[in-house]
Amino acid sequence: MNNIQILKDFIVGKIGLKLIVNQVNEEIGYFYVGLIKTEAPNIELVFNYQDNLYKNSDVDLFGNEKIDICFSNNKKAIEKYLNSNNKCIIFTDYKNFRNFSSSNLAINGYNYHKDIEKYMKESLQINNLEIIDFCTNNPYLAFSEISKYLVNSSGYVKENQIKQDNNFILEIRKNLFNLKRNGNKALDIYNNLKKEVKYKKFSFLTY
């Protein structure tokens, strides 16, 4: 079974309660987070950027399904999640991925090129080689670029001036990740989210 199908089946409850993802790096991790959000629009995603286990009630009074999204390289924290009753997706490094993937559902981010291409061609019916190439080379921008393409596929023009090591959106997202991980105030997180929305809004108007 390929990575895309594993993730889809996991989200809808066909297979397992735990999923391990080797995210390789933050940029590749952003693609899989975007994929999860896209494929689980009606499921509450509980993001945990620290090593604390949030206990979810086995029965939700309103029938709402939850999936924990945990980011950790701490072996003990990962074991707590794996031994819990929570349905969760754990993003971690290759060392922990190797330790836990044999006994759990697993997605290896090293295959992200194939995953992006497969998802775009088979799930989204996008066969434009230009945008596929752009997304595989810039995985952290894949879903914002796909959104732009779906709005205006005939007039699509890729962003040619993106520099991987100095990208404004990437820096905002890194700051946001660190703010959440360090337990910063909600106002700081909100201001960073506003920056990204404002930048993407005016960037989109240039096309």
CA dist., res. 21 & res. 93, Å (int)? 8
Tell me if residue 83 falls in helix, strand or coil. coil
Give the global pTM: 0.75
Q: pLDDT tens digits, residue range 134-188?
A: 999 999 999 999 998 998 887 777 665 454 444 655 666 666 666 555 555 555 6
Average pLDDT taken over every residue of the chain: 81
Assess whether pLDDT exceeds 70 at residue 87: yes
CA-wise closest residue to 190 among 198, 168, 148:
198
Q: Is residue 160 within 8 Å of residue 134, measured between CB atoms?
A: no
| Averaged pLDDT, 22-27 | 92
CA dist., res. 74 & res. 62, Å (int)? 33
Q: Which helix (H) or strand (E) holds 107?
A: strand 105-108
Q: Which helix (H) or strand (E) holds 39?
A: helix 26-39
